[in-house]
Amino acid sequence: MKRNYFKSFLAKLLVLVCAFSMLLSVSTLEAKAANETLLNTYGATYGYSGTCINLYQLRDAKQLSILKQHFNSITLENEMKPDALLGGSARLIPVSQAKSMGYYIPDNYRESSVPQINFNTVDEVMKICYNNGLKMRAHTLVWHSQTPSWFFRNNYAGYGGFVNQQTMDARLEMYIKTVMNHVYTSQYGSVVYAWDVCNEVLHAENSGWEAVYGNNKTNATYVKKAFTFAYQTLEYFKLTDSVKLFYNDFNTYIERDKVITLVNYINQGKKICAGVGMQSHLGTNYPSVDYYMQALNAFLRAGFEVQITELDISNKGDADMANYTYQLMKQVNGAKKNGGKITGVTWWGLSDQTTWIKNSKPLLFSTPGNPKQSYYKAIQAYTETFGAAGGQSQNQPKPQPQPSNENVNNNSTASISNGWYYLKNTNSQRYLTVEGDSAKAATNVCISKGTGVKGQKWYVENKGNGYITLKSGLGNFMLDVANGKDEDGANLQIYDAYGHDAQQFIVKNTKNSGVYTIGTKSSNGTKYIDVYNHGKTDGTNVCQWTFYGNPNQEWIFEPVNNSATQAKSQEQAQPKQENKPVEQPQTQPKAQETQPEETKAEGLDLSYSINSWGSGYNVNLKLENKTGKSVNGWTVKIKKNNVKIDSSWNMNVKTDGDYYVLTPVDWNKTIADGQSIEIGFQGSGNIGNSIDAKLQ
């Protein structure tokens, strides 16, 4: 009896010791990881630590701040997919208008119109990323699931028959090059470092792609064409070394051999697909970590770059997920340390609050900024492999750029007298201009026609060290290399005048008298003020780029009011009319004297389309004004028992009892007569064929 009692006591004591030991272990682990984040561990070694996000989250200052602590890369969940850009029904515009808007129209495009593409969300997201030091994976250009059916049909009409392959080839090239051109001609386009060109081709069924091109998988011709068009765009913008193209898919551990066959087919003749995006929607019950790693290692052996693009882990509880996370990341880190070209890990959501998987908690954070056991296990897996935060795989040292001889400017340094100047680019015959004539720090500079506004005036001051500063006519701001970066494409802006390296420039002579190049001190004179992509149109962004001696990097200093030899105050330096730059601005239309008339919402037509994929759906709503006058303000109400709005675009969402209340954002409040706008949202779960949506 005593022996049994002793055994019972000993067993209980061991349980308490084990429990205390586990508690101490978790506590020690959390304390050890206190100074380590996903950003200074995985971000430092892999290059990119990413998350899936929606615009409404990026607009939330708190969520954005938390995001930046752990991630340096974002992927839009749905807002860059074809249906988000194209809309539920085609908004056709003439080809001539499309060309004037910057659309790419290939020579074999035979149709008289193209569908208008809505870049509003993409533009806002790129700007937020640019202003917050974030990079962006562009997801996705070609996908069977969220591409509207009308895109494949005659006259872009949902009821039309499917077009032939030649017509679709032209549409595909138009769409891909227009979207990519829009990104890389934007002043914020440098944030996009990777594209999921094609998504889930191996799982496409009964889509427009199959209807037009046939049920090919590992040798799908439209896929190779899509990558070719995308790569041609990168070549045009000289981005093939810095931007990568990926084939992205789920269940890659099942489809491993087919993925390898498809990517090799894409790369026949020339390597244009960098590698594979492994979506990695995993579960602790399946696949096993070993099974997953067999696929990842197979891709690496095939010579592919791998990015883990959509990682989440369905599980039976926190401890179950934590154990799986540790085992998974331990092996992924091992593959990286052994030289595997794995260049990013993207978790598919900021926290369990915004996961796409219903009734699951598959992410590292329970709510934004509140880590789970799995987070600490992911950090532990990193530090056990690489050491302290910020470690770099010794097998993959980061190469340091070395300027080649042809990229060194050996011209003599020029002497520019102190004074006020206009700076004219010889290639575009446009002037260095503060965008919007805005007297605000961090405002971009661009080129535009000469008008003589303050934002085109620059005061040269020699610093006595071979460098000058360029003070803006708008006030106490100087021309500035954003963040003092020494890299191609670094943005030029104005910033508070302090005269440090980011605001100092060296002027070099060229073979043409009176024509100069302007180097940046932040690059030690290796990079020069450059009009992006040889642009010649108003608003083209100005950045710095490695010297190559093209007129795109050449500038003329035109004195303001012939007073450049004297240091004058801003007031004294106003140019006379005859000394303004020779190009005069186009006549501007007079402002409307009256505001758009407020029209009741019932004068609008409301239509919608539903795109469901079983576990979720997108709903696109179109408001079209046929009232004969402008509409200023609108409200749409949708009954909650029809839908669940997880994320939205182009609108504000509030709740009122049993209804969602949708109202405009600033830019789409007013709808001119004959015009339309599109709004939409994404939800999880199932949805019927109709919703109860009404204009109020």
**Short-list 662, 682, 622, CA closest to 54:** 682
CA distance linking residue 446 with residue 444, whole number of Å: 7
Q: Alpha-carbon dihedral of residues 35, 37, 39, 41, nearest 10 degrees? A: 80
Q: What is the DSSP code (8-state) at residue 40?
A: I
Q: Give just the sign of the alpha carbon dihedral 124, 84, 64, 323.
A: negative
Give the pLDDT confidence score for residue 407 in this predicted structure.
65
Residue whose tokens read 């073979």: 511
Report pLDDT for 571. 32
Tell me the percentage of the chain whose pLDDT exceeds 70.
84
Rounded-to-integer distance, Cα 629 and Cα 632, Å: 10
Residue 667 has phi, psi (to 5 degrees) of: -75, -20
* Residue 251 to residue 273: CA distance in whole angstroms: 19
3 state SS of 273: coil
* Catalytically active residues, by annotation: 200, 310
Which residues in the chain show pLDDT less than 70?
Answer: 1-34, 389-407, 562-603, 611-616, 618, 647-650, 665-668
The token pair that represents 47 in the structure block: 């290059």
For residues 277 and 248, the answer to whether their CB atoms sit within 8 Å is: yes
> Can you give the pLDDT at residue 115?
96
* CA 569 to chain CA mean position, Å: 42
User: What pLDDT does residue 610 have?
Assistant: 77
pLDDT confidence of residue 599: 36
3-class secondary structure, 394: coil
Instruction: Return left, alpha or beta for 514; rule: phi > 0 is left, psi -120 to 50 is alpha, else beta.
Output: left
pTM: 0.57
- At residue 127, the pLDDT reads 94
| pLDDT value of residue 611 | 66
Per-residue pLDDT tens over the stretch 490-515: 889 998 887 888 899 999 998 888 88
Spell out the domains of the chain, with CATH numbers in brackets: 36-71+280-390 (3.20.20.80), 75-229 (3.20.20.80), 405-579 (2.80.10.50), 601-695 (2.60.40.290)
In which residue are the tokens 């199932």 written?
Answer: 686
What's the rounded Cα separation, in Å, for the pair 535 and 172? 25
**Regarding beta strands 555-559 and 419-425, do their DSSP bridges make them parallel or antiparallel, or are they unpaired?**
antiparallel
Q: What is the pLDDT of residue 345?
A: 97
CB 319 within 8 A of CB 35: no
pLDDT tens digits for range 94-116: 999 999 999 999 999 999 999 99
